[in-house]
Amino acid sequence: GAVVSQHPSRVICKSGTSVKIECRSLDFQATTMFWYRQFPKQSLMLMATSNEGSKATYEQGVEKDKFLINHASLTLSTLTVTSAHPEDSSFYICSAGLGGGIYEQYFGPGTRLTVT
């Protein structure tokens, strides 16, 4: 199947700093990418939908100025957590849509963010 990578896999940052997480589709072009957040022992919560070349669509309750999403190319989407705080510590997972086909979506391995 198609491969989606995320970098970094783990990151620790200090409170008040910003951190960028990359999501790449390695062997296909993804017109749509999704960013999820998962707290320990909880389900995945969709944060935003990222479409190449346009602004991301954020889910209700997600601060777009805090979680900046850029989908500059068909293979790369980035999530920047700005002015991170300890409550932003979480597991962030991206997924990429291949385009067409209701089940053609592939998940990245996730990034564990710890804000100290």
Q: Which residues bind another protein (CB under 8 A)?
A: 1, 32, 34, 38, 42-46, 49, 91, 93, 95, 97, 100, 102-103, 105-107, 109-110, 112
Residues in contact with 26: Cβ distance below 8 Å, sequence separation at least 6, in sequence order = 2, 3, 4, 5, 75
Nearer to another protein, 4 or 81 (CB): 4
For residue 57, the one-letter residue type is T
Instruction: Kindly state the tokens that stand for 33.
Output: 């990418």
Specify burial of residue 44 (Cβ count, 10 A radius: 0-12, 13-18, 19+).
Answer: middle
Nearer to another protein, 38 or 114 (CB): 38
Nearer to another protein, 82 or 114 (CB): 114
Q: CB of 21: closest distance to another protein in angstroms? A: 14
